[in-house]
A and B are shown apart, each in its own frame.
Chain A
Amino acid sequence: EAQVTQNPRYLITVTGKKLTVTCSQNMNHEYMSWYRQDPGLGLRQIYYSMNVEVTDKGDVPEGYKVSRKEKRNFPLILESPSPNQTSLYFCASSLSSRGRGENEQFFGPGTRLTVL
């Protein structure tokens, strides 16, 4: 089944404890992206990747890191989480970076993160 998977689905952690949220897609998509969803603010892009070893900042990159060493994986790293990073996080992928993102994005099921 074609899908985007994220792990973990739920995470409660404490301020300053490094964490990684994994994202994997099995559709051979070039483009991958991370979003956070907050009430009243919709979905805001954190980072995106056009292809392996190519990443760029979205609108709210502060406090986050990403890497794209393999085509299928795009982990989101919070080196020192803070309470304002409590949010619902979505990973997404799309077929091609041609057209710079003008393709259907397939979203994962989301990761609910709480930072105490």
Chain B
Amino acid sequence: GENVEQHPSTLSVQEGDSAVIKCTYSDSASNYFPWYKQELGKGPQLIIDIRSNVGEKKDQRIAVTLNKTAKHFSLHITETQPEDSAVYFCAAIRWGKLQFGAGTQVVVTP
């Protein structure tokens, strides 16, 4: 099965700075890598995803990079804002089973 490791577990950044969360996966056959954001008291919500045939994807202040050779992918948030404070989960999927990382608590301080 797939094993996804996520680092760091907590991340404190000042408003306006960048945040980077890194994940590694074990199964080279994994081909889809979504990122979910979970705000307090709510279910996770997809914010960006990347497929294995793409190396980078951007959506406004959010970007994801994928290195298939090294089997790691990262979430980059630029110009962080207070509303970016949440728990972020990376995930990898292979044959219908989505394996999540343990999550990163991001705190954006004014």
Contact = CB atoms under 8 A, between A and B. Distances in A.
Nearest to A91: B43
Contacts of B46: 104-105
Contacts of A97: 96
Interface in B64-110: 89, 93, 95-103
Interface of A: 4, 33, 35, 40-45, 48, 50, 58-59, 90, 92, 97, 99-102, 104-105, 107-110
B100 to A, nearest CB: 4
Interface range for B: 20 to 34
Contacts, number: 61
Given A41-B102, A42-B6, A43-B89, A48 B42 contact: no
Given A42-B100, A42-B102, A110 B43 contact: yes
B98 A108 contact: no
B12 interface: no
Contacts of B42: 109-110
Interface string B13-52: 0000000000000000001101010000111111001010
B32 A45 contact: no
